[in-house]
């Protein structure tokens, strides 16, 4: 039953189901002595958080243990947040409506830099002190994990403990360690956690800076560096076959089957491709059987084969037709979230969208061959055009094309080629072109690179805008450059940014990833009042010999590999995919004693 003080608010808010819980497959474990309770907190609205595969996996592995219980909590949309404050209602877990402050652990997903203020917002609504140093023995342990954990430094002051890499094993080790140390004090527990591989306890370390303000080093009482965790072989136990099924439409509302983890195509801007190495495929028979069980437990009408690049799955050609066939008699569709720019992918896509040939999405990423060589995106203009021609023949009505602008070394010649390529594409099918601005990310070959200034990015956007204006076959969208700027600031930030995030939150920043809430001026003011220049982080080239604020957070990558890749980028030379070709010695496999694992050898 929903408690009366909550249901009284639900009739007053937009989409009350976000806060009601009680969905199909929800796991409800009432509090019991000895039960360790974790709130899995996603710092965005319900519909985004409920679409996140990592959350479903953690929910499953924790709840499978009789000693542990996991609940979910999402960032209340401001309408609900305000009402909760007025009513004095604290943020609660959706399973048992228990206030967050009564949990043993609250674990945040760090998926996006611009959700950092939402973490403070959620802690605030929960009545939990934001800074780790202010928390007392009775407060829950606040932990975090996800891609942004690899440079969690801007948020280091707010977390007691951070998990690097894939979380399903280390979360159980963390909980077991807490259980074994139940009587111990907070400091003692944290010291014990810091000894577990993959766990980072920021308070055990200190950052120092040079006189010129540049980052000098991290020193501390815990192990250095902290190595990421990963699952060496993917199998049935990693697939959440009975995920919670939301009642309202969420972003990805379907069964998600992870075809593989990791992607070693080696795009040089892509952090996910770098931090989740090597490639590990799930066997096709596991996927087929999981699909059936997941449909029986959820009733979903769609199954997605997910990964960073599903078309690269080595057995896709056999798996897909069988999967489609086995599900179609139940009225269930298959979807492929990521397509490669080639005709094979388009054919496969046509196979699965028989019934609703809507549109096709392809990401050539850069407009000129020169720039695609720089980023190691091994796709030619001809590949794209052939793929689109195939798509038209198969009945697709339109295509979406994704490009990045502001990539390292980009000039207006490259943009002119982009325009040319789009015009050629638009003669085949009507296209919607979306550009995002390049954000240099930690743990990539471009981590030393500056981002173009906001002004320069906007100039390039207007160049494209006017180039496409007269072409009625082309629609052009672009991401706001100010948003990309702050993404760059935080993805390459250091601990000094922690104060700015709190200041921004105090000034009212939250839901910064949502254009209706992103407030550039408030962020600028927050940086001003903290006396920090954000352009220092986003727009400066870092010398390669300088220590980096995230050097101690290891994704297993050899820094020499990243430097080599950077040099190859400037030469426009390719690096091949190690799941199809030779090892490019990134350092991950020997360092973490793992191997690329595919069903069969992948074909280039």
Partner 1 sequence: MRLWLKFSRRDSLSFISHLDAHRAYYRLFRRAGLPLAYSQGFNPHPVLSLASPLPLGFISRADYLDVELSQDMDLVEISDRIRSSSGGDALRLLDGTAIEGRVKALAGMLSFARYSIELAGDEVRATQACQAFSAAEVALFTKQTKSRVLQLDAKELVRELTCHENVINAVLSLGESRVFRPDELLAVMADVAGCRLDSRSITREELYIGDNTLHTPLEWAKLERG
Binding site for ligand SF4 (CB under 6 A): 264, 277-278, 578, 583-586, 588-589, 596
Nearest residue (CB) to partner 1, 87 versus 187 = 87
Binding status of residue 98 toward partner 1 by CB under 8 A = no
Q: Kind of pairing, strands 431-437 and 474-478?
A: parallel
Instruction: Enter the tokens of residue 260.
Output: 């593989």
Closest CA to 341 of 314, 312, 319: 312
CA dihedral sign, ordered 382, 387, 388, 394: positive
Q: Could you tell me the smallest distance in angstroms from the CB atom of residue 101 to partner 1?
A: 24
Q: Where are the alpha helices (DSSP H) in 91-213?
A: 116-126, 170-180, 186-194
Which residue in 87, 180, 251, 296 binds partner 1 (CB under 8 A)? 296
Residue 105 bridge partners (DSSP): 38, 141
The span from the first CA to the last CA of the chain, in angstroms, equals 55
Binding partner selected for residue 26 from ligand SF4, partner 1, none, CB under the kind-specific 5 to 8 Å limit: partner 1
Q: Could you tell me the smallest distance in angstroms from the CB atom of residue 479 to partner 1?
A: 30
Nearest residue (CB) to partner 1, 12 versus 427 = 12
Binding partner selected for residue 324 from partner 1, ligand SF4, none, CB under the kind-specific 5 to 8 Å limit: none
DSSP string of 224-253, one letter each residue: SSEEPB--SS--GGGS-SS--B-SS--SS-
Binding partner selected for residue 332 from partner 1, ligand SF4, none, CB under the kind-specific 5 to 8 Å limit: partner 1
Q: Which helix (H) or strand (E) holds 145?
A: strand 141-145
Q: Which helix (H) or strand (E) holds 256?
A: strand 255-258
Nearest residue (CB) to partner 1, 301 versus 533 = 301
Task: With beta carbons less than 8 A apart as the criterion, state whether 406 and 464 touch.
Answer: no
Closest CA to 365 of 435, 439, 456: 435
Binding partner selected for residue 264 from ligand SF4, partner 1, none, CB under the kind-specific 5 to 8 Å limit: ligand SF4
Binding range to partner 1, per CB under 8 A, among 246-254, 422-430, 459-467, 512-520:
246-254
* Residue 304, phi then psi, degrees to nearest 5: -110, 135
Binding status of residue 250 toward partner 1 by CB under 8 A = no
Binding partner selected for residue 583 from partner 1, ligand SF4, none, CB under the kind-specific 5 to 8 Å limit: ligand SF4
Torsion of CA 236, 242, 245, 249, to 10 degrees: 20
Q: Which helix (H) or strand (E) holds 404?
A: strand 398-405
Binding partner selected for residue 38 from partner 1, ligand SF4, none, CB under the kind-specific 5 to 8 Å limit: none
Binding partner selected for residue 508 from partner 1, ligand SF4, none, CB under the kind-specific 5 to 8 Å limit: none
User: Which residue has tokens 């496969």?
Assistant: 348
Length of the chain: 604
Closest CA to 401 of 286, 343, 478: 478
Nearest residue (CB) to ligand SF4, 23 versus 227 = 227
Binding status of residue 432 toward partner 1 by CB under 8 A = no
Binding range to partner 1, per CB under 8 A, among 247-255, 390-398, 472-480, 571-579:
247-255
Q: Could you tell me the smallest distance in angstroms from the CB atom of residue 78 to partner 1?
A: 19
Binding status of residue 301 toward partner 1 by CB under 8 A = yes
Which residue in 226, 295, 500, 526 binds partner 1 (CB under 8 A)? 295
Nearest residue (CB) to ligand SF4, 378 versus 380 = 378
Q: For residue 478, count CB atoms less than 10 angstroms from its CB and return exposed for 0-12, middle for 13-18, buried for 19 or more.
A: buried
Binding status of residue 1 toward partner 1 by CB under 8 A = yes
* Residue 76, phi then psi, degrees to nearest 5: -65, 135
Binding partner selected for residue 111 from ligand SF4, partner 1, none, CB under the kind-specific 5 to 8 Å limit: none
Binding range to partner 1, per CB under 8 A, among 72-80, 96-104, 291-299, 439-447:
291-299
Binding partner selected for residue 586 from ligand SF4, partner 1, none, CB under the kind-specific 5 to 8 Å limit: ligand SF4
Q: How many residues bind partner 1 (CB under 8 A)?
A: 28
Contacts (Cβ under 8 Å, ≥6 apart) of 106:
38, 39, 41, 73, 100, 123, 126, 128, 140, 141, 142, 143
Q: Could you tell me the smallest distance in angstroms from the CB atom of residue 394 to partner 1?
A: 18
Binding mask 319-338 for partner 1 (x = CB under 8 A): -----------xxx------
Binding status of residue 300 toward partner 1 by CB under 8 A = yes
Query: Measured between alpha carbons, how far is residue 440 from residues 79, 394, 457, 487, 548 in Å?
Result: 34, 37, 14, 9, 14
Nearest residue (CB) to partner 1, 21 versus 513 = 21
Which residue in 102, 181, 297, 584 binds partner 1 (CB under 8 A)? 297
DSSP string of 299-330, one letter each residue: --SEEEEESS-GGG-TTHHHHHHHHHHHHHTT
CA-only gyration radius of the chain, Å: 24
**Three-class SS of residue 178?**
helix
Write out the binding residues for partner 1, residues 2-61 only, by CB under 8 A. 2, 7, 10-11, 16-17, 20-26
C-alpha 518, offset from chain centre? 19
For residue 225, say if its preceding peptide bond is cis, omega within 30 degrees of 0.
Answer: yes
Reported in sequence order, the residue ranges of 62-137 that DSSP labels E, i.e. its strands, are 68-74, 105-109
Binding mask 194-233 for partner 1 (x = CB under 8 A): ----------------------------------------
Binding partner selected for residue 277 from ligand SF4, partner 1, none, CB under the kind-specific 5 to 8 Å limit: ligand SF4
Site residues (vs partner 1, CB under 8 A): 1-2, 7, 10-11, 16-17, 20-26, 245, 247-249, 295-301, 330-332
């Amino acid at each position: 039953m929903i408690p009366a003080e909550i249901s009284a608010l639900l009739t007053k808010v937009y989409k009350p189901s976000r806060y009601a819980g009680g969905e199909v497959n929800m796991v409800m474990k009432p509090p019991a002595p000895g039960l360790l309770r974790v709130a899995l907190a996603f710092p965005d609205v319900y519909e985004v958080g409920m679409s996140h595969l990592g959350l479903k996996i953690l929910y499953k592995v924790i709840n499978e243990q009789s000693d542990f219980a996991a609940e979910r909590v999402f960032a209340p949309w401001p309408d609900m947040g305000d009402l909760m404050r007025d009513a004095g209602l604290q943020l609660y877990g959706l399973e048992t409506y228990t206030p967050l402050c009564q949990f043993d652990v609250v674990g945040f997903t760090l998926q996006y830099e611009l959700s950092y203020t939402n973490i403070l917002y959620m802690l605030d609504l929960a009545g939990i002190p934001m800074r780790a140093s202010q928390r007392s023995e009775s407060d829950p342990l606040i932990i975090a994990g996800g891609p942004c954990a690899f440079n969690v430094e801007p948020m280091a002051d707010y977390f007691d403990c951070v998990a690097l890499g894939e979380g399903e094993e280390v979360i159980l080790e963390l909980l077991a360690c807490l259980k074994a140390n139940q009587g111990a004090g907070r400091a003692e527990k944290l010291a014990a956690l810091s000894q577990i591989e993959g766990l980072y306890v920021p308070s055990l370390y200190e950052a120092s800076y040079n006189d010129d303000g540049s980052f000098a080093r991290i020193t501390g009482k815990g192990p250095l560096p902290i190595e990421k965790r990963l699952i060496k072989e993917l199998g049935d136990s990693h697939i959440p076959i009975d995920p919670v099924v939301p009642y309202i439409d969420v972003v990805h509302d379907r069964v998600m089957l992870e075809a593989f983890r990791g992607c070693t195509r080696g795009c040089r801007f892509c952090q996910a491709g770098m931090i989740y190495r090597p490639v590990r495929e799930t066997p096709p028979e596991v996927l087929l059987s999981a699909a059936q069980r997941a449909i029986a437990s959820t009733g979903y009408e769609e199954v997605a084969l997910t990964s960073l690049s599903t078309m690269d799955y080595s057995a896709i050609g056999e798996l897909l037709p069988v999967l489609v066939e086995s599900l179609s008699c139940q009225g269930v569709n298959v979807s492929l979230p990521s397509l490669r720019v080639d005709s094979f992918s388009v054919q496969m896509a046509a196979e699965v969208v028989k019934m609703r040939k809507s549109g096709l999405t392809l990401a050539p990423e850069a407009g000129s061959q020169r720039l695609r060589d720089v980023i190691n995106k091994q796709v030619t203009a001809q590949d794209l055009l052939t793929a689109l021609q195939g798509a038209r023949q198969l009945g697709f009505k339109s295509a979406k094309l994704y490009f990045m602008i502001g990539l390292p070394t980009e000039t207006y010649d490259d943009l002119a080629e982009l325009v040319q390529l789009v015009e050629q594409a638009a003669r085949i099918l009507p296209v919607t072109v979306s550009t995002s601005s390049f954000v240099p990310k930690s743990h990539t070959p471009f981590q030393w690179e500056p981002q173009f200034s906001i002004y320069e990015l906007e100039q390039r956007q207007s160049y494209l805008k006017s180039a496409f204006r007269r072409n009625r076959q082309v629609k052009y969208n672009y991401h706001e450059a100010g948003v990309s700027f702050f993404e760059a600031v935080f993805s390459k930030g250091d601990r000094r940014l922690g104060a700015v995030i709190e200041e921004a939150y105090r000034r009212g920043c939250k839901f910064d990833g949502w254009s209706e809430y992103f407030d550039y001026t408030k962020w600028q003011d927050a940086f001003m009042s903290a006396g920090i220049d954000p352009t220092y982080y986003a727009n400066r080239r870092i010398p390669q010999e300088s220590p980096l604020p995230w050097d101690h957070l290891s994704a297993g990558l050899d820094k020499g590999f990243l430097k080599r890749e950077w040099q190859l980028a400037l030469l426009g030379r390719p690096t091949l995919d190690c799941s199809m070709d030779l090892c490019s010695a990134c350092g991950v496999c020997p360092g973490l004693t793992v191997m690329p694992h595919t069903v069969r050898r992948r074909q280039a």
